[in-house]
Structure 1
Amino acid sequence: MNVITIYPERMVLILFFICLVSNAQVIEGVDYSSRNRVDHTFDMAGDDVFGQHFPSENFTFKDKVTGITVNALTTSRHSNSKMYQTHPQWTADGKYIIFTSNRTSKNGKGGRLHYAISMENFEITQITTGANSGRDFHLGWHKNVAYKFVDNQLIEIDLETLISDSQNNKIKKAEDYEKIIATVPDTIHTSGMGLDADENSVYFSSKIKDNVSAIYKIDFKSGKTIKLIEVPFRIGHLQANPYITGELMYCWETGGDSPQRMWYLSIDKKGQVKNRPIYKERDNDWVTHEVFMGPDHILFHLMGHIDRLKVNQTGIYSLNIRTNDLKFHGQADDGGYWHCNATPDKKWIAGDTFDGKLYRINANDPNDVKLLTQGHRLMSVSPFSKEAHMHQSVSPDGKWVLFNSSMFTSNDIMIVPMLPE
């Protein structure tokens, strides 16, 4: 019987070689390791892995009606959605769009997580994980960070380091990129989030009892939660003025029409709180989807999709919140416009319709209208269908319109140039 002696240092080399071969995916003499992430293209694995990468899913196509090139940033079999139009969509440096997806949900188990898609190569990075993904996600206005509530803790996420580490295969645990800013008392349930323009505080609402809500402020320096006001209705769509500190807009939320939708709260240098309705509604006004349009203006809709509303002129309006000057920006056919957003210079408005058409409107000439793309809600002629709400947002540089679409799947995110000429 022959005995073969294997020295310890040779054993290490053999094991190392075996590991290399097993990780290299060499099959029948062909090394497939360079393509070992291709199977993630359609998310078939569905694994929740913090910091993982998905190959680009983007697909560019020319709109069949307008001829304008549209870029579908997601095309997977899952539901991918941009964040709500009242909040920033791009990281502060403009390099990434943050969106949500249920691509790691299996058999209906597991919720939506957050992902960053590169504007350079359209690759996707997972940036939240599991039950710790948080609520009321809000990107920084000026810093590459994000804020979220986990239970009653306000947490800041260092997105810049997280994404960089992920790209360099140096990803750590999710908690290593998080900093606890403050803890809200257990008696208060946080809902919604608005980040103050100076990024030193956030605002949120909370239900006190049926038909009574309150707005609170969390001060980053002291960590204190301060009650600002109570109102006799449910609060929704709370958003801070991105340009001026101590100001925020919110709405009387009903899930539909309300007696007076839009409200404005401001805090002066002495800490005094003022609360007032903005655009005082008439009986046949249905106001919806308000957003900021610069430091002194808001943009909103007067809905026109049912007969009783057509007593008044409906369409997209802007309001100077300092002077109450109102400006009409036009109305579309077949039920009218639905959501709206504007370029930072306030020159152009993006308005959509119930049947999935997206228009560019000259803010100074309501007759100067251009159809950018269509077909994104093929089955819909009203707001009450299951197809995606476009919820369009304009990029910080004013060049792109980001929106949800049901053209290919139940929900994808796409971008189209604001000025394709």
Structure 2
Amino acid sequence: MLLRKTSLLLALMLAAAPLWAQIGQRFPSEKRVVADPVTGTPLTFLTTQPRGDSKIYPSHPQWTADGQWLVFRSNRVKGEAIAVNEASGDMVQVTEGGYDGMLNLSQTGGNKLYFLRKAASRAPKVMEAVEVDLDRVFADSQAGTMKPAGRYQRVFATLPAELEAVGDNALDADGQWFYFRIQGKAYAGAHLPAGTKIEPPFGPRGMGAGPHAIGKINVQTGEVRHVVSVPFQIGHIQANLWKPAELVFSWETGGKSPQRTWTVRGDGSGLRPLYPEAPYEWVTHEAIVGPDEVAMALMGHRPIAGVADPSRPAGTSVEGANPGQEDGWGATGTREKPTGLAIVNLRTRQMEIVGQTPSGSGLWHVHASPDGRFAVGDDFARNLYLIDRRTHEMLLLSAGHKATARDHVHPTFSRDGRRIQIQSALLSSDGREMNIVVVPVPPAWLAREP
């Protein structure tokens, strides 16, 4: 009897597995338009259930190349990515077998998705680079004719354990090369010039030590090449989506870096600081926003020593909402010096601050429209601000997203510069779970002279 029950249970489990794990699985629309409770802006919630949703990091594309689908992370199928159609709200599972770190959507040559994942063999530290043909997934899912995952997912390279490749990665503008972070210190160090000083940990979080490196994979042939090694810990890597073979990456310390932003060519040449920062500046959350421009935040989130700040009442801090407040960062990130949303030109190297909140944390995660008209940023309170770059006018576009939310708003402009994607806990009953939201640029702003 026990054997029969065990066999029956196993059969049921095997029969149920494809229902929750298979690429192409569909979920009903949850789409709902909600008026912002503070500003009245119509917010299009593409997800509304507490299912562990979070958007792709704001430095990377959120929409597919045709502009119709947004891809996001979710626990609807734990460890897998979901796409939602902006018009219909229909959702489709677009990976099978998991992913590690960043999700990369091609912007040319059809709807495709690229990422790293642990090798199917599960060998320690061996990673696979995967391409997903989203157009085929969407078509077969709609028709109810899904095939095995291998018909949609192509492993185009297997990265050896010695590289210790991790999920900070980026797809080049022309879709030919896939860049990735290498944290294998022996490998990275072997490609540094002799005598290079290796940076130790920096700051109270014990992060930032090197060496690390960037590698790249040819998407068609699977060829792996070394790009550059540096003597510090690399964080986010992003590619210029308008000009191939141009990268921006960060020195990651978990907070203030000695020199946060860097740029390099895809062949390893031209390595230099993107914005040479002063010791008192707290630079963070850089994002390439156009052919020649990078947005970044110069933070004004830390109190000035010995000066009372009425915008920071005692006892109002929410755990997890205010990073960078711990001791050990020195006198950095205060408003004794200029702070705000900065735009750096990759060609002229000039920097302009286009806006800043009058109080509070200041702008934290930032982005801008590719046409150069608008910029956008969030703050610790999860407010969303829109900036007219020509006039420097600032508008509180959306609020009420709950400072208790699991993460920040993380705004990203659409490629046409008319919409902004965020993540929000506005509808969350526990104040933490987040959903995927599209916020329109107000028609009156779009009608302004460029």
Do the two structures share a fold, i.e. TM-score over 0.5?
Answer: yes
3-state DSSP of counterpart to 1:175 = helix
Name the count of aligned residue pairs.
360
Asked whether the equivalents of residues 116 and 127 of structure 1 are also in contact (C-alpha less than 8 Å), the reply is: yes
- Supply the distance in 1 between the matched residues of 2:214 and 2:53 (Cα, whole angstroms): 30
Q: How does 1:327-338 map to 2 (within 5 A)?
A: 327-332=352-357, 333-338=359-364
Tell whether 2:340 aligns with 1:315: yes
Alpha-carbon distance, 1:135 to partner:
4.6
3-state DSSP of counterpart to 1:300 = strand
Tell whether 2:269 aligns with 1:273: yes
Alpha-carbon distance, 1:211 to partner:
2.1
Q: Name which of 362, 373, 377 aligns with 2:398.
A: 373
Which structure has greater strand proportion?
Answer: 1
Shift of the 135–328 alpha-carbon distance from structure 1 to 2, 3 Å rule, reads closer
Alpha-carbon distance, 1:174 to partner:
1.4
- Supply the distance in 1 between the matched residues of 2:366 and 2:74 (Cα, whole angstroms): 23
Give the structure 2 partner of residue 208 of structure 1.
184
Give the structure 1 partner of residue 284 of structure 2.
288
Asked whether the equivalents of residues 354 and 377 of structure 1 are also in contact (C-alpha less than 8 Å), the reply is: no
Give the structure 1 partner of residue 56 of structure 2.
83
Give the structure 2 partner of residue 339 of structure 1.
365
- Supply the distance in 2 between the matched residues of 1:73 and 1:328 (Cα, whole angstroms): 33
- Supply the distance in 2 between the matched residues of 1:92 and 1:355 (Cα, whole angstroms): 32
- Supply the distance in 2 between the matched residues of 1:315 and 1:413 (Cα, whole angstroms): 26
Give the structure 2 partner of residue 27 of structure 1.
none
Shift of the 118–185 alpha-carbon distance from structure 1 to 2, 3 Å rule, reads same
3-state DSSP of counterpart to 2:139 = helix
- Supply the distance in 2 between the matched residues of 1:374 and 1:155 (Cα, whole angstroms): 38
Tell whether 2:417 aligns with 1:398: yes
- Supply the distance in 2 between the matched residues of 1:66 and 1:284 (Cα, whole angstroms): 35
Q: Name which of 155, 165, 169 aligns with 2:130.
A: 155
Shift of the 133–222 alpha-carbon distance from structure 1 to 2, 3 Å rule, reads closer
3-state DSSP of counterpart to 1:202 = strand
Tell whether 2:385 aligns with 1:350: no
Tell whether 2:299 aligns with 1:303: yes
Give the structure 1 partner of residue 199 of structure 2.
none
Asked whether the equivalents of residues 377 and 388 of structure 1 are also in contact (C-alpha less than 8 Å), the reply is: no
Deviations 1:167-199 (A, max 9, x none): 110111111112222222332122211111121
3-state DSSP of counterpart to 1:204 = strand
Alpha-carbon distance, 1:219 to partner:
2.2
Asked whether the equivalents of residues 378 and 409 of structure 2 are also in contact (C-alpha less than 8 Å), the reply is: yes
Larger Rg: 1
Alpha-carbon distance, 1:101 to partner:
0.4
- Supply the distance in 1 between the matched residues of 2:278 and 2:83 (Cα, whole angstroms): 42
Give the structure 1 partner of residue 159 of structure 2.
184
Alpha-carbon distance, 1:249 to partner:
0.3
3-state DSSP of counterpart to 1:167 = helix
- Supply the distance in 1 between the matched residues of 2:19 and 2:39 (Cα, whole angstroms): 36
Tell whether 2:66 aligns with 1:93: yes
Alpha-carbon distance, 1:222 to partner:
4.1
Asked whether the equivalents of residues 181 and 234 of structure 2 are also in contact (C-alpha less than 8 Å), the reply is: yes
Give the structure 1 partner of residue 408 of structure 2.
389
Identity of aligned pairs, percent? 36
- Supply the distance in 1 between the matched residues of 2:259 and 2:363 (Cα, whole angstroms): 20
Asked whether the equivalents of residues 420 and 439 of structure 2 are also in contact (C-alpha less than 8 Å), the reply is: yes
Q: Which amino acid aligns with 1:80?
A: D
Deviations 1:198-257 (A, max 9, x none): 211111111133521011111234422111221111101100111111110000001111
Deviations 1:108-137 (A, max 9, x none): xxx4311110112111111123x3445532
CA RMSD of aligned residues (A): 1.8
Asked whether the equivalents of residues 347 and 364 of structure 1 are also in contact (C-alpha less than 8 Å), the reply is: yes
Deviates more, 1:247-256 or 1:219-228: 219-228
Shift of the 199–377 alpha-carbon distance from structure 1 to 2, 3 Å rule, reads same
Q: Which amino acid aligns with 1:395?
A: S
Asked whether the equivalents of residues 285 and 302 of structure 1 are also in contact (C-alpha less than 8 Å), the reply is: yes
- Supply the distance in 1 between the matched residues of 2:416 and 2:70 (Cα, whole angstroms): 13
Asked whether the equivalents of residues 405 and 411 of structure 1 are also in contact (C-alpha less than 8 Å), the reply is: yes
Asked whether the equivalents of residues 378 and 407 of structure 1 are also in contact (C-alpha less than 8 Å), the reply is: no
- Supply the distance in 2 between the matched residues of 1:166 and 1:61 (Cα, whole angstroms): 29
- Supply the distance in 2 between the matched residues of 1:354 and 1:133 (Cα, whole angstroms): 29
- Supply the distance in 2 between the matched residues of 1:317 and 1:284 (Cα, whole angstroms): 16
3-state DSSP of counterpart to 2:67 = coil
- Supply the distance in 1 between the matched residues of 2:98 and 2:301 (Cα, whole angstroms): 40
Asked whether the equivalents of residues 281 and 298 of structure 2 are also in contact (C-alpha less than 8 Å), the reply is: yes
Give the structure 2 partner of residue 195 of structure 1.
171
Give the structure 2 partner of residue 138 of structure 1.
104
- Supply the distance in 2 between the matched residues of 1:117 and 1:304 (Cα, whole angstroms): 36
Asked whether the equivalents of residues 284 and 311 of structure 1 are also in contact (C-alpha less than 8 Å), the reply is: no
Q: Name which of 422, 426, 430 aligns with 1:407.
A: 426
Tell whether 2:26 aligns with 1:60: no
Q: How does 1:236-251 map to 2 (within 5 A)?
A: 236-251=235-250
Asked whether the equivalents of residues 50 and 435 of structure 2 are also in contact (C-alpha less than 8 Å), the reply is: no
Alpha-carbon distance, 1:378 to partner:
3.6
Deviates more, 1:71-80 or 1:312-321: 71-80
- Supply the distance in 1 between the matched residues of 2:214 and 2:20 (Cα, whole angstroms): 38
3-state DSSP of counterpart to 2:335 = helix
